[in-house]
Amino acid sequence: MKKYVRGLLVALVVMSMCLTAKTTVNAEEDVKAASGRTVPYYDYTKSGGVWNGINYYLPNGIKVTDAFFFDGSYTYYLQSDGSPMKDRLTYHPDGNHIIYFDSNGHEVFNRFQYCPSVGYTCYFDSNGYLYKDKITFVGNEVYYLNANGKMEDAGWFQFANGVDYGCANWDGTLNTGGFSYDPWGRVVFYHWNGMVARGLITDGTYNYNMDATDGHYLGQFQHVHNLTAATCTEGSMCLDCGLNVSEALGHNWNNNFYCERCGEYEYKVYFDDGYPFEVNYVSYSGRIYSTVEITNIEYQLSRNYDGTMNVKLYFDGIKTYDYKGSNNSASSYFNCKLYKGDTVVASTMIGTPLLMEGEYFEDESAYFWSLPPGDYTIKLLDR
């Protein structure tokens, strides 16, 4: 096996030398490498020129060599003689990644590819780079590309971390179906990612003791749940296995819309600013007719048969200004809006009794009907 891997590495080094010839043309776009060298890249749809399937010529007639080339559908590597590299597993010129060109010279992206030079199937990502030591998912199937880039497809294997095991089918799909057998007939558990479970696992009913080295079944015992307490909004859950054992208890609302179990209020009403609120009665031309200062707001809730709520607001305050003078007795008006989040769900206008400057009013009321449970904010505005 060591001899085979060494031969593979030598072959890759020799192949990579095919991409090291000095470029002879000026590229419009460069592929910037993290290490290694910078390689020209040409896009036929942007550069124009002539592509005859064997060589690519720029509009000025120069044949492109030692460069990547995109013909609008496929990416090629044009070698030192200008012809596409074909059926070759080789290092990218950046010196870090391995790429593959199929028998048509097309660089392989986003798919599995059998590579004859190494005799096994590999996977190449969206950049065309070979996957190494990666679990990948295609549809509902799971695959593993080992440290050499080989798709595991021959039964029991060890992951590159040197600790975990898996079992691959002939088509490269991994066993992921839970309890099954290893090649020696012993019971094991295959996780969703193809790794064999090791140590203690549970299904919420039993704890299963799996060997810490290779994961074979050693024994089981009854699982005892380590439960959290159920609350109004969350059910009881086992802290060890994660199983939800019971549903949430739900709120126990009293007549004051207060949950006696958790202390939450079914409805919450907030006010936009602190006291006092100063609001004006304003003409259409912008003239202030009068001003009142709201010194207190209270609210009362009542429940409807359908579970919605009615809100009755009570306002106390004092008239502080009248444009006709302090002895003029007239009503003042202001607007009240009810918000749920950033949305206005209701609004109303409130009028005071006939007042002179310095006179107080109490319990002027406003109503909002049939509100669903939630948090609401009241804002007072000029009328």
Q: Is the pLDDT of residue 30 over 60?
A: no
Q: Where do you find CATH 2.10.270.10 in the chain?
A: 2-128, 141-222
Who wins on pLDDT, 274 or 321?
321
Q: Is the pLDDT of residue 291 over 60?
A: yes
**Do the Cβ atoms of 332 and 341 come closer than 8 Å?**
no
Residue-level pLDDT at 35: 52
Residue-level pLDDT at 328: 95
Q: Is the pLDDT of residue 250 over 90?
A: no
**Do the Cβ atoms of 123 and 98 come closer than 8 Å?**
no
Residue-level pLDDT at 329: 95
- Token pair belonging to 55: 């060589």
Lowest mean pLDDT segment, chosen from 27-36, 214-223, 300-309, 353-362:
27-36
Task: Indicate the Cα dihedral angle 372, 378, 381, 383, nearest 10°.
Answer: 50
Residue-level pLDDT at 308: 85
Q: Is the pLDDT of residue 18 over 90?
A: no
- The residues that bridge with 64 in the sheet, in sequence order, are none
Residue-level pLDDT at 187: 96
- Token pair belonging to 348: 């109303």
Round to whole Å and give the CA distance between 66 and 25: 9
What's the pLDDT band for 166 if we cut at 50, 70, 90?
very high
Share of the chain above pLDDT 70, in %: 89
What's the pLDDT band for 176 if we cut at 50, 70, 90?
very high
Mean pLDDT estimate for the chain:
85
SS3 of the chain: CHHHHHHHHHHHHHHHHCCCCCCCCCCCEEECCCCCCCEEEEEHHHHCCEECCCCEECCCCCECCCEEEECCCCEEEECCCCCECCCEEEECCCCCCEEEECCCCCECCCEEEEECCCCEEEEECCCCCECCCEEEEECCEEEEECCCCCECCCEEEECCCCCCEEEECCCCCECCCEEEECCCCCEEEECCCCCECCEEEECCCEEEEECCCCCCEEEEEECCCCECCCCCCCCCEECCCCCECCCCCCCCECCCCEECCCCCECEEEEECCCCCEEEEEECCCCCEEEEEEEEEEEEEEEECCCCCEEEEEEEEEEEEEECCCCCCCECCEEEEEEEECCEEEEEEEEECCCECCCCEEEEEEEEEEEECCEEEEEEEEEC
Q: Is the pLDDT of residue 5 over 70?
A: no
Q: Where do you find CATH 2.60.40 in the chain?
A: 267-382
What's the pLDDT band for 11 if we cut at 50, 70, 90?
very low
What's the pLDDT band for 32 if we cut at 50, 70, 90?
very low
Which residue type sits at 251?
Answer: H
Q: Is the pLDDT of residue 258 over 50?
A: yes
- Average of per-residue pLDDT across 316-344: 92
- Tens of pLDDT, residue by residue over 35-89, are 578 889 999 899 898 999 899 999 999 999 999 999 999 999 999 999 999 999 9
What's the pLDDT band for 246 if we cut at 50, 70, 90?
confident
- What is the CATH class of 2-128? mainly beta
- Average of per-residue pLDDT across 305-321: 89
Residue-level pLDDT at 372: 86
Residue-level pLDDT at 270: 75
- Tens of pLDDT, residue by residue over 96-131, are 899 999 999 999 999 999 999 899 999 999 999 999
What's the pLDDT band for 27 if we cut at 50, 70, 90?
very low
Displacement of CA 232 from its chain's centroid (Å)? 28
* Phi, psi values for residue 378, rounded to 5°: -105, 130
Residue-level pLDDT at 186: 95
What's the pLDDT band for 374 if we cut at 50, 70, 90?
confident
Is the domain covering 267-382 a CATH 3.10.450 domain?
no
Share of the chain above pLDDT 90, in %: 55
- Token pair belonging to 16: 């990579």
Beta strand pairing call for 178-181 and 165-168: unpaired
- What is the CATH class of 141-222? mainly beta
> Mean pLDDT: which of 173-177, 244-248, 263-267 is highest?
173-177
Closest C-alpha among 287, 282, 379 to residue 333: 282
Lowest mean pLDDT segment, chosen from 38-52, 210-224, 259-273, 297-311:
259-273
Q: Is the pLDDT of residue 16 over 60?
A: no
- Average of per-residue pLDDT across 261-265: 79
Residue-level pLDDT at 4: 35
